[in-house]
Structure 1
């Protein structure tokens, strides 16, 4: 890609990035001078030690629940560490955070990465555009030290975003993808693959425990499974396509009637999606069956009706995973209740495909096994 440096400006076909030419004294140097660096790096951003599990091979990262819409955890990037709130997303594979070169409205409300303050930052003259269902980001590629709890990844590829469209009101600064390498930007290695390939974790697995009972208490764990977070034995499902965390689903039923996935279909297990999503025509049928009626951009129901509505059962690999009405409706502060089913997937996939988002994953503890390409599910505690 052609690029040009003029008075500290780097021009990349679609990217225009200001690269300061001077450096200031870093926090790392200051801490080292005062013999405080080791203690600083041994602790996370809250000043508490990370690994709270009995198994030293498992690294736990706390997640905060924002109104049952998104789960966010803290990471740091750079040396000394700069803190960011990111969504841990199984539906993508890249890490991006906003940078000091960003002038979008989004960046005025979020933390931004400053490469000038880091002694370990490496710039690459490559413009990156990342498209999501909700919007897109534009930035450039860099390499840095990334810390997730007590895990430290050196030279990790990430995107320093300088424009965000469609993310103005999200509570997180950036996203950390945990999907397969085929989803990542060409020529880069995702974070989990670096953890796995460099022997930084004892087993090539990670797992999610998502809860709606309180703001704190949710977890993502790396390197193993803390079985205190689920009931019964894990049931394993082969990954049908190593791109997304995609599996084969048998059917979807309500009161014994098949309402979706009539001849089998595909499902993507996605921690970065709030809803249960599927083809619009099938979602509209389900909305009618659960007495939800259009109300603006949502489907609404009388909250008093929820207790009388049946569970919707997702049958996967021969096992039933019920989702009760209390889970597939959301009660709002104004006393109204809306359906957590959404359509719109018919144009994104060649065959019938569903997304099992946080509505499903709050009920079922999920394990993602890259060594054997399978997903484990069990009822969450």
Structure 2
């Protein structure tokens, strides 16, 4: 009996070392706006320069990210984000729904002092109700290409599941102009990228967890699913390790090339076995903040030509739904391992006014790093592959997700 006690204690300690954060899947902002007939006007109003001309006078003079001609694709990540989870801030706790986003590094939620229409539809942080809140005094601005946040900084206790992070720096948004965040289902964003990507000065959440030694391993991992089966979770974020029951086969590790985004080297992209894109290798970021796979416009146009897709005036592409079974496979090669997506994986079906449309999961994006144009591997890719982010060794791991395609995805 006494021999079993140490083993029992070890099991209890190990079981508590991995925190599971349930994620739920909602329609993207793009899908909602398209269904409501608002997408066309939204895209016109939120062109970066149009947005900046309209709202620049509302921000402090000299705000760098609002200068004309400067653009970013971050907003499209949030426009196409699907997976959200819950966090709590303050004492007593205040609940918020956030995107756990590997494509950014900041934590922000709406403030109770927010004056924008968007804040009326979301939960607000009430600093005056938290006994553990510390006012910072600094202001911040985050530019998302077609949207901009302005706010004040503070520190408070952050809780995710049963983990407690003390003195976490975060932003309270007080001004969110435009319509981007009005439609958003999330209250805020919790960034999981490297500190160099942060707009807000201070340690990002995961780095704070490591500094406060509340995790056993410097690892977090994502399981995302498109299955409608009740026995399969919509998604999970695991902090401090992995869950072998959620993936099959070996883990393929790919080193991070630049510590900002979770940026890796991609060997090539092929359509139906013919390597015609990213021929000499290219850079890609692994981004849980977007549902799509994005790439340089010329490459994405060529990809759609090979698929036989037709562009829409909204910037996305459609195919004839009757052709789905004959569409080619698209293969991404990472670390000399092939990751193949069938049409079931990269086509999403949407219904408008009783008409069924089949959209591809690929989109053009002008993003660059020091090594050239960037591809974005979003949820179209990540729903098929369990993904592990290792900050201890600066690498990203991929393994085949279990139950990733349990039923046809054409109704998504």
State the TM-score, normalized to the length of structure 2: 0.77
Structure 2 match to 1:282: 299
The Cα shift of 1:339 comes to 1.3
CA distance in 2, matches of 1:347, 1:242: 14
Question: How far has the Cα of 1:125 moved from its partner?
Answer: 1.2
Q: Residues 275 and 177 of structure 1: is their aligned pair in 2 closer, same or farther, counting only changes over 3 Å?
A: same
Counterparts of 1:83-102 in structure 2, within 5 Å, are 83-102=95-114
Number of the residue aligned with 1:136? 148
**3-state SS in 1 of match to 2:322:** helix
Partner of residue 358, structure 1: 379
Pick from 118, 123, 129 the counterpart of residue 130 of structure 2: 118
Shift of 1:186: 5.7
Structure 2, unmatched stretches of 5+, are 1-11, 29-80, 403-412
The answer on whether the counterparts of 2:293 and 2:362 sit within 8 Å (CA) in structure 1 is yes
- Residues 368, 374 of structure 1: 8 Å contact kept: yes
CA distance in 1, matches of 2:313, 2:293: 19
Is residue 89–residue 272 contact of structure 1 (8 Å, CA) maintained in 2? yes
Counterpart for residue 405 of structure 2: none
C-alpha displacement at 1:197, in angstroms? Answer: 1.2
Structure 1 position 348, deviation (Å): 6.9
Q: Distance in 2 between matches of 1:274 and 1:349?
A: 25
- How many angstroms does 1:74 deviate by? 0.5
Preserved CA contact (<8 Å) 2:104 2:191: yes
Matched position secondary structure for 2:15: coil
User: RMSD across aligned C-alpha pairs, in angstroms?
Assistant: 1.8
Give the counterpart of 2:92 among 68, 75, 80: 80
- Conserved? CA contact 1:153–1:194, under 8 Å: yes
Change (3 A) 1:346 1:91: closer
Per-residue CA deviation, residues 21-71 of structure 1 (Å, 9 max, x unaligned), is: xxxxxxxxxxxxxxxxxxxxxxxxxxxxxxx99832100000001137410
Q: Return the alpha-carbon distance in structure 1 between the equivalents of residues 309 and 369 of structure 2.
A: 25
Aligned twin of 1:378? 399
Where do 1:305-344 residues align within 5 Å?
A: 305-334=323-352, 335-344=356-365
Contact kept in structure 2, 1:151 and 1:200, CA below 8 Å: yes
Q: Measured at CA, do residues 73 and 186 of structure 1 come closer, stay the same or move farther in structure 2, by a change above 3 Å? A: closer
Is the 8 Å Cα contact of residues 134 and 167 (structure 1) preserved in structure 2?
Answer: no
For residue 192 of structure 1, the aligned residue among 197, 200, 206 is: 206
Alignment of 1:144-155 (within 5 A): 144-155=156-167
Structure 1 residues 347 and 366 mapped into 2: Cα distance closer, same or farther (>3 Å)? Answer: closer
Q: Which residue of 1 aligns with 2:388?
A: 367
What corresponds to 2:27 in structure 1? 67
Within a 5 Å distance, the mapping from 1:290-305 to structure 2 comes to: 290-297=307-314, 298-305=316-323
1:176 aligns with 2:190: yes
The answer to whether the Cα contact below 8 Å between 1:230 and 1:365 also exists between their aligned partners in 2 is yes
**CA displacement 1:145-199 (0-9 Å, x = unmatched):** 1100011111100000011233221110000000111112364011101111111
Moved more, 192-201 or 329-338: 329-338
Is the 1:280–1:346 contact (alpha carbons within 8 Å) kept by the matching residues of 2?
no
Deviation, 1:349, is 6.5
Give SS of 1:367's match. strand
Alpha-carbon distance change, 86 to 134 in structure 1, aligned in 2, over 3 angstroms: farther
Q: Indicate conservation of the 8 Å contact 2:368/2:374, yes or no.
A: no
Find out whether 1:213 has 2:227 as its counterpart: yes
Instruction: Determine which of 237, 240, 243 is the counterpart of 1:223.
Output: 240
CA distance in 2, matches of 1:314, 1:55: 35
Question: Are 1:236 and 2:253 an aligned pair?
Answer: yes
Task: Provide the C-alpha distance between the structure 1 equivalents of 2:144 and 2:200, rounded to a whole number of angstroms.
Answer: 17
Count matched residues.
Answer: 330
Change in CA separation of 1:347 and 1:227 when aligned onto 2, cut-off 3 Å? closer
Which consecutive unaligned segments of at least 5 residues does structure 1 have?
A: 1-51
SS of 2:249 mapped into structure 1:
coil
